[in-house]
Amino acid sequence: MSELLTAAQMRAIEMAAIESGEVTGLELMERAGRGVVEAIFEEWPELAKTSQRAVVLCGPGNNGGDGFVVARLLKEWGWEVEVFLYGDAEKLPPDAKVNYVRWREMGEVGSYPDYDKRETWQCDLLVDALFGTGLTRGLPDLGELFWNLDDMVDCFEIEFGHELGRPAVVAVDIPSGVCADSGRDFPNSDDHFRFSARAHMTVTFHSKKPGHLLNDGPVGCGKTVVADIGLSRSDEPGSLSRQTLIEKHGERWLGRVISRAVEPPLSPYLSKETDEHKYAHGHALVLSGGVGKSGAARLAARGALRIGAGLVTLGVPPSAQMEVASQITALMLQRVEGSEGLESVLEDARLNALCLGPGLGLARARELVPVAVRAKHAPDVVLDADALSAFADEPAQLFDLLHERCVLTPHGGEFKRLFPDIHAKLVEVPTKGPAYSKVDATREAAKRVGCTVLFKGPDTVIADQMGRCSINSAHYERSAPWLATAGSGDVLAGFITGLLARGFSTMSAAETGAWLHVECALEFGPGLIAEDLPEQLPAVFRKLEL
């Protein structure tokens, strides 16, 4: 998994490298600008073969300095380049000012209002180097530009050489107006226009930032490329970058303040060994609702079995026994009528992972959740859907039951009902940055309940009670819109339960289950329904060479 650095963490790493003498600010700016140009030519190789027209919009900070470097390098490549500055050249930071002067030796610098008056793009490439990761406020006077950029990216195909201009739009570090820590915009009073830019491609430096994966950040970024600017890795023991973050946060807290992107390599324990028997991979129990309501639990159970749990049993009330029995084969069935029935079943300590919620029913959930969570042998417990909604009126009743071996998997509505105060902060209009993010919200929720919380969405965020946090992004090349179908969340709950049965930690089970969930959707593609998800796991596992 790769680390996702906040704007403040990234600034600290850059400053440490500069102060150590390892590199100068000018060298970092040169590397950044060169990284942008290299990314452009890699994405659109035809642009490197001939002279084209570029417009570079530079802002008043170091992001603008990167833009001046991009302009100079494109000019040296033989391009026609126009540069427009938003702000006062005399107030540019020192390194940006040096690159402004270097560009002025090659070409003119117009003022941004002059460009804003144009009715057409008049270029093949437009570079947004206005505001980067340091932005903490709204940009009302750029709203019309942002609107036009959105129109260009959303409504027109890139067409190099077009008379009026159908340019590729490239953002430096992050589209202007987007908070790098949260992926949120900074709204302003001029709500007729957009609050942030859009791009076909965003080139960021050293590592992705949370805002590249959260909220609407990925929509604005288009595609995100990470350019290496020669800084040491922050996850490398003994490196200057890591030492800087330790000094900033403390070594004990480092894993609790840096979020990560969920990506391969996954846990080595996902495979199975030849000398293991079924009980080596645990026994999961999925509790079902009554007659006509058992489908969701069967989806979860199928997911748990497919992901490798040694045995999976459906705990079914008497009314649904015939219904369930006629629908299952490899899954087992156990009658569980009420709290006493569940207590009796849980005397079997081999049942090491429980799943409650999918199709369970609110009344049955209120009765069974306390028994499951407080089982004497302390199995891992996944609470989803009805197991969360059953306590919406009194969330504290649920929270008092929970322990560190629980996993909560709320979607947005369930999160709002369980954590109304946290949700209110998440949807509050940010007036200054960094804006409160989904990472902040999930961490706060996990700390409150003392267990792992998986906050669903295309930007699924997973956090545990210690503050460790990761983002499973279903954006960019992993965009999986067909997951928006009834029952897909039930399968995810089953995936996590199955991994817990196999001995995964709650955090690892949630991360791995969420990642595999998206991969299964991508494997199947359009037309996906929930029943298809578990059946894609064999193909996904083969690709992982398990």
Q: Which residues are annotated as a binding site?
A: 62-66, 128, 173, 176, 296, 359, 411, 456-460, 489-490
Nearest in space to 511 (alpha carbons), one of 453, 447, 451: 453
265: cis peptide before it, omega within 30°? Answer: yes
Nearest in space to 19 (alpha carbons), one of 241, 207, 180, 249: 241
Write out the binding residues for K(+): 63, 128, 176
Q: If you write DSSP's letter for every residue of 31-100 in order, what string do you get? A: HHHHHHHHHHHHH-GGGGSS--EEEEEE-SSHHHHHHHHHHHHHHHTT-EEEEEESS-GGGS-HHHHHHH
CB of 285 closer than 8 Å to CB of 354: yes
Write out the binding residues for AMP: 456-460, 489
Cβ burial of 332 (10 Å; 0-12, 13-18, 19+) is: middle
Q: Which amino acid is at 317?
A: P
At 254, phi and psi to the nearest 5?
-60, -45
CB of 436 closer than 8 Å to CB of 423: no
434: cis peptide before it, omega within 30°? Answer: yes
- 3-state SS track over 223-237: CEEEECCCCCCCCCC
CB of 218 closer than 8 Å to CB of 178: no
Alpha carbon distance 166, 533 (integer Å): 40
Alpha carbon distance 28, 216 (integer Å): 28
Site of tokens 């302390």: 378
Question: Taking phi first (over 0 means left), then psi (-120 to 50 degrees means alpha), and beta for anything else, what does residue 413 get?
Answer: alpha
Site of tokens 């006629």: 326
Alpha carbon distance 129, 132 (integer Å): 7
Q: List, edge to edge, every strand of the sheet that includes 109-111.
A: 109-111, 80-85, 53-58, 125-129, 168-172, 201-205, 224-227
Question: Taking phi first (over 0 means left), then psi (-120 to 50 degrees means alpha), and beta for anything else, what does residue 227 get?
Answer: beta
CB of 446 closer than 8 Å to CB of 199: no
Write out the binding residues for (6S)-NADPHX: 62-66, 173, 296, 359, 411, 490
Alpha carbon distance 421, 418 (integer Å): 9
Alpha carbon distance 498, 489 (integer Å): 14
